[in-house]
Homo-oligomer: A and B are copies of this chain.
Amino acid sequence: MAKVDTSLVAHLPLFAGFKTEDLEEILREARSARYPKNSAIFEQGADAHGFFLLLHGHVRAAKTTPTGEQIVVRYVAPGETFGLAMALGLTQYPATATAVDDSVVLIWPTAAWPRLVERFPSLASGTLQTVGARLQESHTRILEMSTQQVEQRVAHALLRLAKQSGKKLDHGIEIDFPISRQDIAQMTGTTLHTVSRILSGWEQQGLVESGRQRIILRDPHRIVTLAERNPDSGPA
């Protein structure tokens, strides 16, 4: 079991205000693991054996229906926690987590959570805020799906991804992990076909540059305009 350096996590909001020795105590309970690109981290419905902190890479959390359709719940960026099932009172993971890039995580065993929370109550409050933020995002997403057209939703999704995991280039912002049309469709409640058509259109207008599992926002500002555009304002 590798020793984990506190410097890796000390700057995270969740651990803000912790003393180095406390951090060490917390990290002592965790082990680290590496997941190669496209490998499963845990499966929806499996017993929640632990909770995770992503150190490197990118992870997709997806939910599957009984009939096999999938949606992407979220993409996890480095520094974020995931697989918190047990803290939320579940015994099984409600979604499947997959590494979309070579990824490194810290894993705490489920059993460690009650102990840690008792010892460090602020962990619970901190996690509460994290989960609260995710709840807000979910509500925003529901609002968007209820009131906006597909093009606007895709615009919002890309902007969010760019903000969370965008790499600045001189000619735009690149989303810093492999993401397919299908993935975007599953984030926005549409089909890969429609996403493809939209991106093709945007590409022609110079808004984006994209290829196989790769998207660069060339003109973020105009995409913001698109995202906020009232559907019936202005001509075609």
Contacts and interface: CB of A to CB of B under 8 A. Distances in A.
A89 interface: yes
Contact of A139 (B73, B84, B127): B73
Contacts of A134: 135
Contacts of A179: none
B89 A143 contact: no
A90 interface: yes
B71 A135 contact: no
A83 to B, nearest CB: 12
A168 to B, nearest CB: 28
Interface residues of A, number: 38
Contact of A132 (B88, B118, B121, B146): B88
Contact of A89 (B84, B124, B133): B133
A125 B132 contact: no
A63 B125 CA distance: 25
A136 B88 contact: yes
The A interface, classified by DSSP as helix, strand, loop or mixed, is helix
User: Which of A124, A141, A230: most chain B CB closer than 10 A?
Assistant: A124
**Copies of the chain in the assembly:** 2
Contact of A118 (B71, B88, B117, B121): B121
A138 interface: yes
Contacts of A204: none
Contact of A189 (B73, B142, B186): B142
Interface string A63-95: 101010101010000000000100111100011
Contacts of A71: 142-143, 146-147
A145 interface: yes
A90 B133 CA distance: 9
6 contacts: A63-B139, A65-B147, A87-B128, A118-B121, A124-B128, A141-B142
Interface in A186-236: 186, 189, 230
